[in-house]
Amino acid sequence: MSKPSIYDRYLPALSAEPSDTPAYWFVFRSNTGQLLLSDRAGLDAVPSAQHAETLGFTPVRSLFLGLLDGAPCYAAEAPDDAEPPEGFAFHSLRPLYDRMDEDLFHVAGRALQMLNWDDTHRFCGRCAAPLAPAGHEHAKVCPQCGLRHYPRISPAVITAILKDGKILLAHSARFPNKMHGLIAGFLEAGETLEDCVRRETMEEIGLTLGKIRYFDSQPWPFPNSLMIGFVAEYESGEITVDGEEIAEANWFGPDELPNIPPRGSIARRMIDWYAEQYGSRPE
């Protein structure tokens, strides 16, 4: 499946070269994680300035990200009380799928993840000494004990389970508006991705799976996940929800889908793919 890649527009780098070109600033307010944007479309919505101070605040921290459409780009954390400049507002990142280009959204997600990592890795977890940038890679090194600290990425699987032309959709008590999604969960130590798919499915709904195949992946910066999608065939068992992660689950045909996740998420992309393969596309 073809989808936008951040690397069509974005070139990562560790340090900035001297430049008179205004930079793009992915500015997040530190207490809410909200992103500063104008009401323009695409990259024009991202603030552009030589320095963050031009936007009316002194950043708590800033990190060079690389080049975006040929211009320098930075992640910056604004103070809790920072006020947006005229024509801009702070927005929660999660709902911005429908507003931002997908690749631009993922660059913004990268910025948020790197700021979170920089904030939570100021001291060594082994000896508590202050950490220093590694220099030649995105990492921090402890000058006292030598331990390296890399940005955390938490892999998680998400699975479309199919049986007799129907898809299994599940509702969690934390989902609003009776929304139904796919079975998902985080990888545990020692597991393969396929092991994780089978374990999460058995734990949450009591089913045994047959053939499993890779579908797609999506970075998910809330706070540092990588969602890895699979399509799996039902093999045996009756749906038995765990009552903790899953409140209810059932099989649905392509023309009888309940409320499902919003467009842009990998869950919605997988459900849309199912509906295209087996019937009409959901609205």
Residue 137 assigned as binding residue: yes
**Per-residue model confidence as pLDDT tens digits over 94-140:** 888 777 888 999 999 999 999 999 999 999 999 999 999 998 899 99
Burial of 239 (0-12, 13-18, 19+ CB in 10 A): middle
Residue 273 assigned as binding residue: no
Residue 90 assigned as binding residue: no
Residue 132 assigned as binding residue: no
CATH code that applies to domain 6-120: 3.90.79
Residue 13 assigned as binding residue: no
What is the pLDDT averaged over residues 179-205?
A: 97
Residue 142 assigned as binding residue: yes
Residue 176 assigned as binding residue: no
> Would you kindly state where each structural domain of the chain is located, as residue ranges?
6-120, 123-151, 154-278
Residue 50 assigned as binding residue: no
What fold characterizes domain 154-278? Answer: Nucleoside Triphosphate Pyrophosphohydrolase (3.90.79)
Rounded distance, CA 180 to CA 175, Å? Answer: 8
Residue 79 assigned as binding residue: no
Residue 97 assigned as binding residue: no
* Strands 140-141, 148-149: pairing kind: antiparallel
Rounded distance, CA 80 to CA 76, Å? Answer: 13
Cβ–Cβ contacts within 10 Å for residue 17, how many?
8
pTM given for the model: 0.89
> Taking a C-beta distance cutoff of 8 angstroms, is the pair 115, 59 a contact?
no
Does the fold of domain 154-278 match that of domain 6-120?
yes
**Per-residue model confidence as pLDDT tens digits over 221-267:** 988 999 999 999 999 999 999 988 899 999 999 999 999 998 888 99
Burial of 236 (0-12, 13-18, 19+ CB in 10 A): exposed
Residue 219 assigned as binding residue: yes
Residue 47 assigned as binding residue: no
Residue 200 assigned as binding residue: yes
Rounded distance, CA 283 to CA 272, Å? Answer: 9
Residue 225 assigned as binding residue: yes
Residue 220 assigned as binding residue: yes
